[in-house]
Amino acid sequence: MSYIVTGGAGFIGSALVAAMNEAGINDIIVVDNLGSTEKWRNLRGKRIADYIHKTDFLAMVEGNKLPSGVTGIVHLGACSSTTEKSLDYLMRNNFSYSTVLANYAVRNRIRFVYASSAATYGDGALGYDDDPALFAKLRPLNGYGFSKSLFDLWALERGYLSTICGFRFFNVYGPNEYHKGDMSSVVYKAWRTIKEGQPVKLFGSNCPEYKDGEQQRDFIYVKDCAAVLINALKTPSVAGVYNLGTGTARSWLDLARAVFAALNLPERIEFIQMPESVSKQYQNFTEARMERLKGSGLLGQLLSLESGVADYVVNYLEKPDPYL
């Protein structure tokens, strides 16, 4: 048996590869686009069978030339920038690429697990319910969310969600996100700011319902995400699209305070005005409904925000080599 992980050198992908190695799974083909980025560092110490560039991999799939014995594909490769403006790029990279892989996997009876996103929910006006009956009603706020929502609908309409499994990741944080720049988590950004001797700066509120820093997100540790993905690979009877969060919203202040606590330092937090470009598509509250995932049997025990942040800060960020 062998597995393919697209985006395997990225944040969640490399955490998944590490977790698979820990579970004794080493026959893994990583698909990515390393280019001149620092993502290669995420693969140090990992045991994999091969690396294939994402363009070459797509050609292999279209030509029906994948190696024999592939039993599962975890498709995490995508442009995850919520500020990406090129819809043509997002449609090619996130939507069209995914349809080719899904068609191949279903046709060849290969387990297919993929990344959707909580960005599909837009401003949350319809809540954060992963009921397929609501898919067509969702209104994402950015092109990234649109590309992910479109694939969910495509898979639903073709009946693929009876065999494939997707996850709407909420706010994921943890090791191996260092290459993501502005898209890295506030945990990482806060740690860097604190180490520079500066106060942590959070966006002030753009909504009278929330005080500064009290906007809330559903934060989940990347190791918990990886565990769910492995369970999904091992349980082909579970299909559909599921929220992947904790089901408990926490504030940005909670997150920043957890970083200070992990460093055993007094809090220094300031608020800055939210840029208009961000304010227009800002989610003041996200909280995953988790009933369906809990009922699937894929979800294990999740770390609390404080425990996850402490593990990330103490066991990775504070080490000379912070990689997972």
Give the domain ranges of the chain: 2-173+219-246+285-302
| pLDDT value at residue 83 | 85
How crowded is residue 126: how many other Cβ atoms within 10 Å of its Cβ? 13
Write the single-letter amino acid at 264.
N
| pLDDT value at residue 254 | 98
Token pair in block for residue 208: 């009278």
pTM of the entire structure? 0.96
Q: Which residues contact 306 (CB under 8 A, 6 or more apart)?
A: 258, 261
Token pair in block for residue 179: 């290459």
Mean pLDDT over 264-272 rounds to 97
Note the pLDDT tens digit of each residue in 49-88: 999 999 999 999 999 999 899 999 999 999 988 889 999 9
| pLDDT value at residue 107 | 97
Q: Which residues contact 21 (CB under 8 A, 6 or more apart)?
A: 28, 46, 47
Do the Cβ atoms of 116 and 152 come closer than 8 Å? yes
Note the pLDDT tens digit of each residue in 120-147: 999 999 999 999 999 999 999 999 999 9
Superfamily the domain 2-173+219-246+285-302 falls into: NAD(P)-binding Rossmann-like Domain (3.40.50.720)
| pLDDT value at residue 276 | 87
| pLDDT value at residue 213 | 96
Question: What is the percent of the chain with per-residue pLDDT over 70, rounded to a whole number?
Answer: 100
Band of the pLDDT at 1, cuts 50, 70, 90? confident
| pLDDT value at residue 82 | 87
Band of the pLDDT at 97, cuts 50, 70, 90? very high
Beta bridge partners of 50: 29
Residues catalogued as catalytic = 144, 180
pLDDT of 279 higher than 90: no
Question: What is the percent of the chain with per-residue pLDDT over 90, rounded to a whole number?
Answer: 94
pLDDT of 22 higher than 90: yes
Note the pLDDT tens digit of each residue in 164-203: 999 999 999 999 999 999 999 999 999 999 999 999 999 9
Tell me the C-alpha distance between 46 and 49, whole Å: 10
Beta bridge partners of 169: 117, 244
| pLDDT value at residue 283 | 86
Beta bridge partners of 165: 113, 240
Note the pLDDT tens digit of each residue in 204-250: 999 999 999 999 999 999 999 999 999 999 999 999 999 999 999 99
Which residue in the block uniquely carries the two structure tokens 């944080």?
173
DSSP 95: I
